[in-house]
């Protein structure tokens, strides 16, 4: 099961002063600790989740930078381009890493991530989830979001379209469940989404 989905910025170079920013996040389910004697308030839970997501985003950004450096690819690969440019998701940096219990989540988690130009996409999964299925789902979500929302242009457009993102997640990642999807079923879901959410 997917615990969370997030979209965040990726810095192009270390010299840039702009920090990693979480643009969108969605949690599926709750995380309860058996050791907590007192219930948390809603505000404390919100702040905790915000810190957890930011910690994941920073680690994804770091992993993406390391992978680009190891491959000898320039930081220009992360520069934003126009929405008309063809994005090759297969060539985009991607990977997975494990988070130990308590860092930052109470239970161990696995993160699958994808860096597309200036944006990072990540799924936070249960520790023993199917990683190939998760990567395929993440690539599908990234492609749909890039196509439907034209995310390669200024990020303000992303912040104003949270309902579109939720519509895509509802169909392709319902309640955080990874689906085994064939091409025909994906096309059907895409048509359904396009009819419900015209551009």
Torsion of CA 51, 53, 57, 62, to 10 degrees: 60
Q: How far is CA 157 from CA 25, 68, 120, in A?
A: 15, 27, 16
- Looking at the DSSP bridge assignments, the partners of residue 99 are 109
Q: What is the pLDDT of residue 158?
A: 58
Q: What's the pTM value of the predicted model, to 2 decimals?
A: 0.81
pLDDT 10s digits, 122-167: 999 998 899 999 999 999 999 888 877 765 554 545 556 788 888 8
Interval 70-85 mean pLDDT: 57
Tell me the pLDDT of the chain averaged across its residues. 80
Q: What is the pLDDT of residue 85?
A: 45
Q: How far apart, in whole angstroms, are the C-alpha atoms of residue 77 and residue 115?
A: 10
Helices vs strands, H then E, count in the chain: 5, 5
For the domain made up of 2-196, the CATH class stated in words is alpha beta
pLDDT band (50, 70, 90) for residue 197 = low
Q: What is the pLDDT of residue 133?
A: 93
Q: What is the pLDDT of residue 83?
A: 44
Q: How far apart, in whole angstroms, are the C-alpha atoms of residue 61 and residue 43?
A: 27
pLDDT at 104 over 70: yes
Percent of the chain scoring above 70 in pLDDT: 76
pLDDT band (50, 70, 90) for residue 58 = very high
In the chain, what are the domain boundaries?
2-196
pLDDT 10s digits, 30-52: 665 545 545 567 888 888 899 99
Interval 158-181 mean pLDDT: 83
Tokens of 162: 């949270």
pLDDT band (50, 70, 90) for residue 5 = very high
Alpha-helical (H) ranges within the chain are 42-71, 131-149, 156-159, 162-172, 183-196
Give me the phi and psi of 93, to 5 degrees please.
-65, 140
């Amino acid at each position: 099961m997917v615990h969370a989905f997030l979209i965040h910025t990726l810095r192009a170079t270390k010299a840039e002063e702009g920090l990693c920013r979480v643009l969108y996040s969605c949690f599926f389910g709750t995380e309860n600790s058996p050791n907590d004697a007192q219930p948390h308030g809603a505000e404390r839970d919100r702040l905790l989740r915000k810190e957890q997501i930011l910690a994941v985003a920073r680690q994804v950004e770091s992993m993406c930078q390391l992978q680009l450096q190891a491959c000898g690819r320039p930081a220009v690969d992360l520069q934003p381009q126009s929405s008309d440019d063809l994005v090759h998701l297969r060539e985009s940096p991607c990977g997975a890493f494990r988070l130990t219990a308590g860092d930052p989540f109470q239970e161990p988690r696995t993160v699958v991530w994808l860096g597309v130009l200036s944006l990072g996409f990540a799924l936070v999964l249960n520790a023993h989830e199917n990683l190939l299925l998760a990567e395929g789902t993440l690539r599908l979500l990234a492609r749909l979001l890039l196509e439907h929302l034209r995310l390669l242009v200024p990020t303000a457009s992303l912040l104003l379209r949270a309902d579109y993102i939720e519509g895509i997640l509802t169909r392709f990642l319902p309640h955080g469940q990874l689906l085994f999807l064939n091409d025909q079923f994906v096309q059907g879901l895409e048509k359904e989404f396009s009819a419900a959410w015209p551009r």
